[in-house]
Amino acid sequence: MASTPVPDTNLILAVLKRGNGFMEGDGIKVWQPRQDFPVWRFTILLKRGNQIHPVDSDTVVKCGIIPQSTVLIFKNDRTLSSFFDFIRTRDLETQPDSHMQLKSKYCTTPQKFNEVMEKIREAAQCLRGSPFGALHFKPRHFDAPIPTSTFGILPGLQVPAALVLVLGVTTHGVALNIWRVRNGDYELLLRKVPGDPNYGGAILAPVFSTNVSAHDASPLAALERIVGPDVSSWLLDDTRNQFVAKGKICFTHVHGPEYGEVQEGVPEFGRRYVFDALMPENRQVHEIGVEEGELVWLTFQQIERELFANRFSPVNGLVVLDFLLRYHILHNRVGWELLDEVVARMRYDSAGAQY
């Protein structure tokens, strides 16, 4: 089936867990063909208004099935469009209260698949009115120019920062996750930054993050600019599949209830693009160009503790949570109740997420 451009929707793909033919995230076995048939689970979270709905039986989508053979194809290409190309769903139900369920069955024809995907878009439309923005990605064309400026919208157009919120200008930012596997466990490289009392004294952030300027051809170009040409040549080498994820997340200002009423209802109109790079074994941290004393490798257990201790700003916390979800770390090692709690602490305001 041919891939189609991915709209900037409010669908949030919250990654996969390998299982034996049944889905058990909400305590219900949705489908069980046979025990020796390995499948992967995906979950879709939807927003309604300014609220994000975690995985639970009251709100939205349940589960879907992907055969083992398609997982092998999909393994190094985790874009939303590529993922949905391999989803085999049979039916979608839009309930009277505007919640929706995605049934876990096979879609035997491309025509049926397209019908189901159209129903998903229609249901999303009912939830938010108009969830689709002007930004589209075509699969595997991540360097295509996007409209942007230092603070927002058109190439060459500079918008004063003070007017960004007033005018509703869409800003674009980019962040890079640098990771490695050591002793069978994932470790994420983070930068220590000055604490911000508005965000619970956050002191951890991605190693590299920046705004996409009017002179950047794409989010990846902005990332290469801040990383520098020397480091880009070995850290951002896409020909060796060091990018597991490209342009994974788009969202606006994110915050939890612990940050107080002052932050409520004051969204930053923006999109953020998150990239992952595997640290080559023959390279050292000091070669990245950041003072070593500012950097720290954290395991997933440590990251989890830091998330709950509010050691990340809401935006950076979401980037880290996205990383844990996409690499199946939370699904594999902690219960769904904890995942729901983590997700529920971070609220999306006014824009969708895109994988």
Tell which residue, 17, 296, 272, has the closest CA to residue 135.
272
pLDDT of 244 above 80: no
Separation between Cα atoms, residue 316 and residue 138, nearest integer Å? 26
Contacts of 80 (CB under 8 A, 6+ apart): 6, 11, 13, 354, 355
* Degrees, nearest 5: CA angle 158-161-258: 145
Contact 270, 159 (CB under 8 A): no
| 62-71 pLDDT, tens digit each | 333 333 333 3
Give pLDDT tens digits for 35-45. Answer: 333 333 334 43
Residue with tokens 């950041």: 290
* Residue 47 confidence (pLDDT): 37
Model confidence at 193, in pLDDT bands (50, 70, 90)? confident
Q: What is the pLDDT of residues 155-185, one digit of tens each?
A: 444 545 444 444 445 567 788 888 888 887 7
pTM of the predicted model, to two decimals? 0.49
CA distances from 152 to 7, 63, 101, 175, 208 (A): 19, 36, 36, 17, 20
Condensed to tens digits (0 to 9), the pLDDT of residues 307-350 reads 767 787 766 777 777 677 666 565 444 444 444 544 544 433 22
pLDDT of residue 43: 40
- Indicate if the pLDDT at residue 190 is higher than 90: yes
Domains delineated in the chain: 6-128 (no CATH), 148-344 (3.90.79.10)
Instruction: Name the more confident of 202 and 221.
Output: 221
Q: Choose the weakest-confidence range: 128-132, 166-170, 250-254.
A: 128-132
Q: Which two tokens stand for residue 306?
A: 């830091």
Which pLDDT value is given to residue 72? 32
Q: Which two tokens stand for residue 350?
A: 């006014």
